[in-house]
């Protein structure tokens, strides 16, 4: 038990350079989210070492915690990049796929039979917009309520698209850093990566959430394949996989 607690604390420990960062602490305790703190130093490394040109992209934003951290670290590192994000704001009941549940459960929020799932996902979407508008009102990332594969196809098409803040953006172009934290299924992550590849340039960084060895996610399975994919070099594989395009 003690070693379990120790492992948890180590995993969630920030490196010294970030531990005393009050802005970062303020984001993490204010904006709801699922950001694994072990991703923070990896994000910082990716930002410090990414190519000199190209956009930063996040797949899977939830209420904006990781995206606000990304924008914060970019500003801290004096990197003025275009930042984009996409999330379909889907409901994912953790038990849905495994349990034989009744129809009303499938329409409502777990534990709250009086709350419809659509209302819950709209609440998350509103929370995302409010959080981004609070922390980065003058520098809002291009943010889209889209399935990741649709969004990435729009990126490939170079589509001009109005985002959830009513800003018009031209999608497309090089991607210097992608943080992948949407649906964690193997096929989905693999398709996302393949749609991203044509937009990478030498040195582009990719951080794949929940990809540490032994994790029970499709993203972890994909990470094992990426390790022997000649197109990529591994930068860090101690926890989640940070890798770069050769
Ligand atoms: C683990 S959460 C992201 C957590 C977030 N990065 C944070 O820091 O809190 C995964 C998110 O991915 C979104 N998602 C799941 N499948 C998706 C898909 N196929 N396309 C776009 N978004 C998806 C969900 O709506 C959810 O908000």
At 92 the pLDDT is 78
Residue 111 vs residue 69, higher pLDDT: 69
3-state percent helix, strand, coil for the chain, nearest multiple of 5:
40, 20, 35
At 97 the pLDDT is 67
Residues above pLDDT 70, as percent of the chain:
92
Residues above pLDDT 90, as percent of the chain:
83
Mean pLDDT calculated for residue range 66-76: 98
With the most atoms of ligand 1 within 8 angstroms of its CB, the residue from 69, 182, 185, 190 to mutate is 182
Residue 135 Cα to ligand 1 midpoint, Å, equals 20
At 180 the pLDDT is 98
Q: Is the confidence at residue 13, as pLDDT, over 90?
A: no
Residue 3 Cα to ligand 1 midpoint, Å, equals 30
At 12 the pLDDT is 59
Q: How confident is the model at residue 144 (pLDDT cuts 50, 70, 90)?
A: very high
Kindly report, residue by residue over 77-131, the tens digit of the pLDDT: 999 999 999 999 998 776 776 666 777 878 899 889 999 999 999 999 999 999 9
Q: Is the confidence at residue 9, as pLDDT, over 70?
A: no
Q: Is the confidence at residue 11, as pLDDT, over 70?
A: no
With the most atoms of ligand 1 within 8 angstroms of its CB, the residue from 24, 29, 90 to mutate is 90
Mean pLDDT calculated for residue range 47-61: 98
Domains of the chain, by residue range, sit at 21-91+121-245
Kindly report, residue by residue over 24-34, the tens digit of the pLDDT: 999 999 999 99
Average pLDDT, the chain: 92
Ligand 1 pocket, CB under 6 A = 33-35, 60-62, 65-66, 86-90, 147-148, 181-183, 188
pTM for this one? 0.94
Mean pLDDT calculated for residue range 208-222: 95
At 1 the pLDDT is 42
Residue 105 vs residue 191, higher pLDDT: 191
Q: Are 46 and 236 in contact (CB under 8 A)?
A: no
Mean pLDDT calculated for residue range 51-56: 98
At 5 the pLDDT is 45
Mean pLDDT calculated for residue range 174-201: 97
Question: Distance (Å, rounded) from C-alpha 174 to C-alpha 45?
Answer: 19
Q: Are 44 and 14 in contact (CB under 8 A)?
A: no
At 18 the pLDDT is 81
Please name the fold of domain 21-91+121-245: Rossmann fold (3.40.50)
Q: Is the confidence at residue 19, as pLDDT, over 90?
A: no
Closest CA to 84 of 148, 134, 157: 148
Q: Are 179 and 43 in contact (CB under 8 A)?
A: yes
Facing residues of 242 across strands?
Answer: 207, 236
Do the bridges between strand 200-208 and strand 241-245 make them parallel or antiparallel, or are there none, so unpaired?
A: antiparallel
Kindly report, residue by residue over 227-241, the tens digit of the pLDDT: 999 999 999 998 999
């Amino acid at each position: 038990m003690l070693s379990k607690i120790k492992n948890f604390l180590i995993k969630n420990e920030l490196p010294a350079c970030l531990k005393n960062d009050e802005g970062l602490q303020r984001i993490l305790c204010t904006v709801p989210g699922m950001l694994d703190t072990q991703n923070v130093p990896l994000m910082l490394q990716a930002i410090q070492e990414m190519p000199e040109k190209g956009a930063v992209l996040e797949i899977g934003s939830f209420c904006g915690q990781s995206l606000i951290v990304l924008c914060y670290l970019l500003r801290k590192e004096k990197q003025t990049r275009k930042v984009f994000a996409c999330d379909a704001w889907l409901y994912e009941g953790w038990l849905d796929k495994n349990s034989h549940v009744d129809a009303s459960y499938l329409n409502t929020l777990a534990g709250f039979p009086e709350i419809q799932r659509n209302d819950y996902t709209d609440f998350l979407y509103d929370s995302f917009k409010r959080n981004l508008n609070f922390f980065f009102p003058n520098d809002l990332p291009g943010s889209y309520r889209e399935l990741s594969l649709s969004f990435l196809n729009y990126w490939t098409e170079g589509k001009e698209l109005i985002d959830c803040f009513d800003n018009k953006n031209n999608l497309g172009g090089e991607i210097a850093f992608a943080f992948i934290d949407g649906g964690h299924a193997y096929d989905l992550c693999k398709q996302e990566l393949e749609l991203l590849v044509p937009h990478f340039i030498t040195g582009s960084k990719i951080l794949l959430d929940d990809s540490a060895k032994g994790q029970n996610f499709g993203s972890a399975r994909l990470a094992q394949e990426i390790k022997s994919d000649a197109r990529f070099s591994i930068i860090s594989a101690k926890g989640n996989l940070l890798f770069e395009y050769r």
